[in-house]
Structure 1
Amino acid sequence: MTDLSLLSLAAASLPAGGGAPSHLDPLALFMNADIVVKCVLAALAAASVWGWMIILSFGIRVSVLRRGSDEYEAEFWKARDIDAFQNARSGGKTADLPVAKVVSAALSEWRRSVGGKVDREGARARLAAVMDSVVAQESERLGDRLNFLATVGSVAPFVGLFGTVWGIMNSFFQIGQQQNSSLAVVAPGISEALFATAIGLFAAIPAVIAYNRFSHVVNGFEARLQRFADRFHATLSRELDGM
């Protein structure tokens, strides 16, 4: 067999493209990127990881709160003695429920308001103010970390775009340095630059979806607490009428 035949067989046995990778390798893109693009990618990756931690923890927290609130409210409206009911649940996880905090605040104000001469209208106003304050406070606590998701959703695409612009600028610089405008010179830098935009969108899209969904959940939970507070206020108001 001639040398030419051997070369032909060897060439036929190689993968198409002369051994070039058949798919994008994110790790290789990161390792070959410029230091500025690396910093952008690392920051976006960290923001994405932290955002997913918030998403998962918030989902678990809301599930626990809903289940605990359902059980608490079902038992609360069946109780004959509210003070005894609340004292029996003053410790443990039940006491940390937002609805339980509304009841505790209302009962504390009730005791102060009926301890001496009863001013019915003043007591009603104070009870409503106390419960509204607790409802607002617990709603703020529930949605506290959602601001991070909003920030990631709005800022991450622009951070990724900054990495893209920087990478493309670096590619043009390489063209000037090598005096060569072939695609082989600029393609790696452009790929790394566009990878920054992709990571920015990867971080932003779940954050925006989660923020919109969880904001709706927080608003719904606040409305639920407010309905409970209004109903409890009506119960206490009837007690005041009987004094």
Structure 2
Amino acid sequence: MSAEISFFDLFLEASILVQFVMLTLLTFSIVCWAMIFQRRKILQSATQELKTFEDKFWSGADLSKLYSEISAKNHVQGIESLFVAGFKEFARLRKSHIDNPQIIVDGTHRAMRVALSREVDNLEKHLPFMATVGSISPYIGLFGTVWGIMNSFIALGSVKQATLQMVAPGIAEALIATAMGLFAAIPAVMAFNRFSHLVEKIENGYGNFMDEFSSILQRQSANEQNGK
């Protein structure tokens, strides 16, 4: 009775090219899983920070005190960076003695738009890599499978009588490459779709805040102008 062949044995018996394909896919999978855990933590934190800040913002807190409190932090990120950028630009333009409230609001909105673009770039970090892994891994695995099966049939050409026992190991080691390609691709695609949805949801929250904050500053600026 023949001994069972392990995955490690099949890997060692595979050709150099198939081994390289397997190692590449394994590396893709490890790196992708590390990014998945990292992105999951960051996006969950951004979602919670968005909710916490909106609760504080709409609780009636004084905007100047809120700005001073947030600016005192060593590192400002997420929706807080949008608020700081907007309020800082608003204060700067107001000190410039600009009489047109719309100019002040437009300048404030542009400052927040720049901050929004920077924050979204941070949230989307590593997502293109996941998309790439999800797209190319099955094809890389298929390439390793085709190469391994081709070598198996070439080797069979040198024998007079082929048996299943002779063919099976070569085909098995080749098919492992396809399995590893799917193993790397499926989690990457699922994570990319999930995280893309979360980023879009967070970005929409940032955009809504920008519009609402701009409206508040516009009313405040108009009231100050009418009070003169």
Give the TM-score of the pair, scaled to structure 1. 0.86
The CA deviation at 1:113 is 1.4
* TM-align CA RMSD: 1.6
- The amino acid that maps onto 1:190 is I
Aligned to 1:101: 81
Query: 8 Å contact 1:41–1:196 — kept in the other structure?
Result: yes
Q: Tell me, yes or no, if structure 1 residue 223 matches structure 2 residue 204.
A: yes
Aligned to 1:20: 3
Give the TM-score of the pair, scaled to structure 2. 0.92
Extract unaligned runs of 5+ from structure 1.
Answer: 1-17
In structure 2, do the counterparts of structure 1 residues 84 and 209 end up closer, same or farther at CA, with 3 Å as the change threshold?
same
Aligned to 1:117: 98
Query: 8 Å contact 1:156–1:200 — kept in the other structure?
Result: yes
Q: Classify the secondary structure of the residue corresponding to 1:78.
A: coil
Aligned to 2:155: 174
Instruction: Describe the superposition over 1:199-242 as per-residue Cα deviations: whole angstroms up to 9, x where unpaired.
Output: 00000011111111111110000000001111111110111111
Larger Rg: 1
Q: d(CA) in 1 for partners of 2:7 and 2:76?
A: 44
Q: Tell me, yes or no, if structure 1 residue 241 matches structure 2 residue 228.
A: no
- In the comparison of the two structures, how many residue pairs are matched? 223
Q: Classify the secondary structure of the residue corresponding to 1:144.
A: coil
Q: Classify the secondary structure of the residue corresponding to 2:92.
A: helix
Q: d(CA) in 2 for partners of 1:198 and 1:173?
A: 23
- The amino acid that maps onto 2:223 is G
Query: 8 Å contact 2:85–2:112 — kept in the other structure?
Result: yes
The CA deviation at 1:32 is 1.5
In structure 2, do the counterparts of structure 1 residues 90 and 79 end up closer, same or farther at CA, with 3 Å as the change threshold?
farther
Deviates more, 1:126-135 or 1:140-149: 126-135
The CA deviation at 1:110 is 0.6
Query: Percent of aligned pairs with the same residue?
Result: 35
Query: 8 Å contact 2:49–2:79 — kept in the other structure?
Result: no
Query: 8 Å contact 2:70–2:76 — kept in the other structure?
Result: no
Query: 8 Å contact 2:108–2:214 — kept in the other structure?
Result: yes
Q: d(CA) in 2 for partners of 1:112 and 1:92?
A: 20
Extract unaligned runs of 5+ from structure 2.
Answer: none
Query: 8 Å contact 2:15–2:148 — kept in the other structure?
Result: yes
The CA deviation at 1:109 is 1.2
1:202 to 183, 198, 206: 183
Instruction: Describe the superposition over 1:101-137 as per-residue Cα deviations: whole angstroms up to 9, x where unpaired.
Output: 1011111211221112322221122222222222222
In structure 2, do the counterparts of structure 1 residues 212 and 57 end up closer, same or farther at CA, with 3 Å as the change threshold?
same
Aligned to 1:11: none
2:70 to 77, 86, 89: 89
Q: d(CA) in 2 for partners of 1:237 and 1:120?
A: 6
Q: d(CA) in 2 for partners of 1:80 and 1:98?
A: 19
Structure with the bigger RCO (C-alpha within 8 Å, sep 6+) is: 2
Query: 8 Å contact 1:167–1:193 — kept in the other structure?
Result: yes
Q: d(CA) in 2 for partners of 1:37 and 1:108?
A: 58
In structure 2, do the counterparts of structure 1 residues 232 and 171 end up closer, same or farther at CA, with 3 Å as the change threshold?
same
